């Protein structure tokens, strides 16, 4: 599948079995840009006038003395205590409600350790993520209707890829090219990269979507 091709859902058209849509969590479902910026400014890792997304903040912090350590500590805070201030990406709620109303199964599969690296408070990251989803109606029948046992946090990327295969996902949506292009990624899964653009060049095994509205059109058809 090239970056400009459509996800092939023809074998699962109306009257066929429902889709099994896997979605990554961090930076795919939940956006942290504003949390990272506020936390980096508070810790004086960037200047008060610094403006940028998570990637720009990461690059700036890594240039500091002991920058990698500072970046890991910042991530530990944001993904733990800071997650309460994180936001859902625009258009995701519509996509999830549509999946629920049309009877498709949504499963969240994330590479997330139990605790943040170098986090002195040892906040349980998986518990924090689960609490965030609960607060945003992920498990409510009148919300997104996702089953709580369809949330999978894995300790390594290899375990994440194995989980995607074991769950027999028909689609998987992730913000990381290195996940979707991994040689171990199951070849039968339609892959969608949630990003403004792909860094890789040439024939890509995934389609690139810059927004959840675009993802909805790709998955459900051009008239979504």
Q: What is the pLDDT of residue 14?
A: 38
Structure tokens at 77: 């805070």
pLDDT (0 to 100) of residue 97: 97
Answer whether 161's CB lies under 8 Å from 185's CB: yes
Closest C-alpha among 197, 59, 174, 50 to residue 109: 174
- Give the Cα separation of 136 and 73 in Å (integer): 26
CB neighbours of residue 222 within 10 Å:
7
**Ranges of each domain in the chain:** 10-31+88-220, 33-84
Residue 131 phi/psi, 5° resolution? -65, -40
Strand ranges in 76-198 using DSSP code E only, listed in sequence order? 87-88, 105-111, 151-154, 171-174, 190-194
- Check: CB of residue 60 under 8 Å from CB of residue 36: no
Tell me what pLDDT residue 224 has: 53
User: Quick one: pLDDT at residue 96?
Assistant: 98
> In terms of CATH architecture, what is 10-31+88-220?
3-Layer(aba) Sandwich (3.40)
**Cα 126 to Cα 56: distance, rounded to the nearest angstrom:** 25
Residue 214: CB partners within 8 Å, gap ≥ 6? none
Contacts of residue 63, Cβ cutoff 8 Å, sequence gap at least 6: none
Separation of alpha carbons 168 and 72, rounded Å = 33
What angle, rounded to 10 degrees, do the helices at 92-101 and 212-220 form?
A: 30
pLDDT in tens, the chain (224 residues): 444 444 444 433 333 478 999 999 999 999 999 999 999 999 999 999 999 999 899 999 999 999 999 999 999 889 988 999 999 999 999 999 999 999 999 999 999 988 876 666 778 999 999 999 999 999 999 999 999 999 999 999 999 999 999 999 999 999 999 999 999 999 999 999 999 888 887 889 999 999 999 999 999 985 45
For residue 61, CA distances in Å to 102, 115, 125, 218 come to 44, 21, 22, 36
Instruction: Single out the residue of 22, 21, 38, 118 nearest to residue 83, CA to CA.
Output: 38
The pLDDT of residue 10:
42
Q: Are 195 and 210 in contact (CB under 8 A)?
A: yes
pLDDT value of residue 7: 47
């Amino acid at each position: 599948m090239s970056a400009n091709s459509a996800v092939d859902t023809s074998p699962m058209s109306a009257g066929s079995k429902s889709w099994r849509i896997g979605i990554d969590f961090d930076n795919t479902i939940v956006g942290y840009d504003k949390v990272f910026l506020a936390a980096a400014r508070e810790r004086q890792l960037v200047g008060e006038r610094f403006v940028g997304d998570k990637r720009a903040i990461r690059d700036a912090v890594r240039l500091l003395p002991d920058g990698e350590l500072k970046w890991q500590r910042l991530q530990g805070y944001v993904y733990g205590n800071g997650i309460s201030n994180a936001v859902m990406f625009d258009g995701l709620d519509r996509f999830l409600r549509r999946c629920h109303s049309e009877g498709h199964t949504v499963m969240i599969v994330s590479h997330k350790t139990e605790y943040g690296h170098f986090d002195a408070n040892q906040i349980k990251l998986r518990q924090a993520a689960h609490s965030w989803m609960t607060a945003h109606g992920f498990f409510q029948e009148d919300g997104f209707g996702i089953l709580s046992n369809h949330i999978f946090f894995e300790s390594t990327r290899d375990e994440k890829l194995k989980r995607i295969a074991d769950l027999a996902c028909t689609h998987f949506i992730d913000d990381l090219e290195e996940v979707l292009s991994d040689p171990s990624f199951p070849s039968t899964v339609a892959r969608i990269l949630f990003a403004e653009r792909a860094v890789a060049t040439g024939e890509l095994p995934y389609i690139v979507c810059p927004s959840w509205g675009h993802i909805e059109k790709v998955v459900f058809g051009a008239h979504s």
